[in-house]
Chains A and B, each alone.
Chain A
Amino acid sequence: MIFVALLVTGVTAATSLVIAAMGENMLYFYSPSQIRAGEAPSGSSIRVGGLVVDGSVQRGEGLEISFALTDGAATVDVSYAGILPDLFREGQGIIASGVLNAGARLQAEEVLAKHDENYMPPEVAEAMEAAKRSGAMAPHGSMRQ
């Protein structure tokens, strides 16, 4: 029993050290605030996650599209040309991967949609939306940060 307990303790300790050491590298994406603070490397491919800013989506020729991503504190502009996932819309959580160019604008090669953990019928969502507009309820579609 002591042997098994020691084994589990040892492996747990080793794993937590590894996780602590990896830290930021385990993040799948950066938030716009982190980009603004200069934490993301420029020149290499990165991922940015945030909510699509309402009214920021502008469609260009063909599949070209540009929009802004926000985490509530900062925004990052994104340009993309390609097929968007079904869930892409204003206010939706999106992860764009690409390279930051000179103007801190993300030239995206891939855009993925991140859906939230809420599941409800459309009528309930509408009722909550209405309640939110009258200021009675906190927003439900939150982006995990």
Chain B
Amino acid sequence: MWAFLHRFASPPHFYRRAGAIAPWLGWICLGLMAAGLYGGLVVAPPDYQQGESYRIIFVHVPSAWMSMFVYVVMAGASAIALIWRIKLAEVIAIESAPVGASFTFLALVTGSLWGKPMWGTYWVWDARLTSELILLFLYFGVMGLYAAIEDRRTAGRAAGLFAIVGVVNIPIIHYSVEWWHTLHQGPTVTKLSAPSIHVSMLVPLLLMAVSFKLFYVTVLLHRARCGVLERGRNAGWVRSLLARTEPE
């Protein structure tokens, strides 16, 4: 197991493997997303209270889940990079940030578009919405910190530490609707009792959630390949790779 992990974490090996896996994941993601969208927008019945407007959950909920999932991955990878000094983990962490920020942005925008017809407002400063907005700023912080520091090693470490510290926001986001009175409703799927969503709506929602996850992995693999190449531009394996692909 450890031997495998160490081999996978070596840049040339990762570069090759990731390049082989990514297209497959991308196609599966596309298939699941098509099925999820068809199931959610065409097959699923309208909601008993919200009518057709509720259909935005098929984008809103998976992006909100991913906004937190990506942050946890980023913080975990940062911790691994800081503790065991694995370069690949740092690449994973840094390259995750823009993807996570995009998911957070999508969750905020779709939620606000949903809020206007349902709640009667685009935005309120309740605990859930505010903590999700803070999450977006945490992503910006990680990206900004990494970009602002000249020395790459220091930049990676500073951004990693920042990401780890920010992880306290994740449980706050998740439990905000239970700890405080919020305008945002409570959890539907991620609670201990049975999900309070009809199965005809739950299936496309979960399909979308899996496809969003695969989308993240696919994009991350592509981004990490670029990151590995960039960081290893003086390494022997990158030079030989370039020599092979250069035109005769």
The chain A residues found within 8 Å of chain B, CB to CB, are: 1, 4, 7-8, 11-12, 15, 19, 26-31, 49, 83-87, 95, 110-126, 140, 144-145
A-B contact count (CB 8 A): 119
Q: Which of B124, B165, B172 makes the CB contact (< 8 A) with A112?
A: B124
User: Which 7 pairs from chain A and chain B are nearest by CB?
Assistant: A85-B120, A125-B48, A121-B45, A28-B126, A120-B198, A119-B197, A117-B188
A28 and B176 CA atoms in complex are apart in Å by: 11
* Residues 187 to 225 of chain B near chain A (Cβ within 8 Å): 187-188, 196-198, 200-201
Q: Determine the chain B residues whose CB is within 8 A of the CB of A124 once the complex forms.
A: 48, 198
Q: Are the C-beta atoms of A116 and B168 separated by less than 8 Å?
A: no
Is the CB of B180 closer than 8 A to any CB of chain A?
yes
A114 and B200 CA atoms in complex are apart in Å by: 23
A83 and B119 CA atoms in complex are apart in Å by: 12
Q: How large is the interface on B (under 10, 10 to 19, 20 to 34, 35 or more residues)?
A: 35 or more
The chain B residues found within 8 Å of chain A, CB to CB, are: 45-50, 53-54, 57, 79, 82-83, 117-121, 124-127, 161, 164-165, 167-168, 172, 177-183, 185-188, 196-198, 200-201
Contact A113-B181, Cβ < 8 Å, known A121-B48, A122-B48 = no
* Chain B residue at minimum C-beta to C-beta distance from A8: B164
Q: Are the C-beta atoms of B119 and A114 separated by less than 8 Å?
A: yes
Q: Are the C-beta atoms of A119 and B201 separated by less than 8 Å?
A: yes
* Chain A residue at minimum C-beta to C-beta distance from B165: A11
Q: Which of A83, A114, A120 makes the CB contact (< 8 A) with B48?
A: A120
Q: Determine the chain A residues whose CB is within 8 A of the CB of B45 once the complex forms.
A: 121-123
A123 and B200 CA atoms in complex are apart in Å by: 12
Q: Which of A26, A29, A119 makes the CB contact (< 8 A) with B196?
A: A119
A95 and B185 CA atoms in complex are apart in Å by: 12
Q: Are the C-beta atoms of A4 and B83 separated by less than 8 Å?
A: yes
Q: Are the C-beta atoms of A8 and B167 separated by less than 8 Å?
A: yes
Q: Determine the chain B residues whose CB is within 8 A of the CB of A15 once the complex forms.
A: 168, 172
A125 and B54 CA atoms in complex are apart in Å by: 15
Contact A28-B47, Cβ < 8 Å, known A11-B168, A86-B117 = no
A15 and B169 CA atoms in complex are apart in Å by: 9
A86 and B179 CA atoms in complex are apart in Å by: 27
Q: Are the C-beta atoms of A28 and B165 separated by less than 8 Å?
A: no
A66 and B7 CA atoms in complex are apart in Å by: 70
A43 and B18 CA atoms in complex are apart in Å by: 62
Identify 20 residue pairs between A and B in the complex whose beta-carbon atoms are under 8 Å apart, listed by A's number.
A7-B165, A8-B167, A15-B172, A28-B126, A28-B180, A85-B117, A86-B120, A87-B118, A87-B119, A113-B119, A114-B119, A117-B187, A119-B54, A119-B188, A119-B197, A120-B48, A120-B197, A121-B45, A121-B46, A122-B46
Q: Are the C-beta atoms of A120 and B47 separated by less than 8 Å?
A: yes
A26 and B79 CA atoms in complex are apart in Å by: 31
Q: Determine the chain B residues whose CB is within 8 A of the CB of A112 once the complex forms.
A: 119-121, 124, 183
A83 and B23 CA atoms in complex are apart in Å by: 50
Q: Are the C-beta atoms of B47 and A121 separated by less than 8 Å?
A: yes
A31 and B120 CA atoms in complex are apart in Å by: 20
Q: Determine the chain B residues whose CB is within 8 A of the CB of A85 once the complex forms.
A: 117-120
* Chain B residue at minimum C-beta to C-beta distance from A84: B120
A8 and B127 CA atoms in complex are apart in Å by: 22
* Chain B residue at minimum C-beta to C-beta distance from A141: B49
Q: Determine the chain A residues whose CB is within 8 A of the CB of B79 once the complex forms.
A: 4
Contact A28-B181, Cβ < 8 Å, known A19-B172, A120-B197, A120-B198 = yes
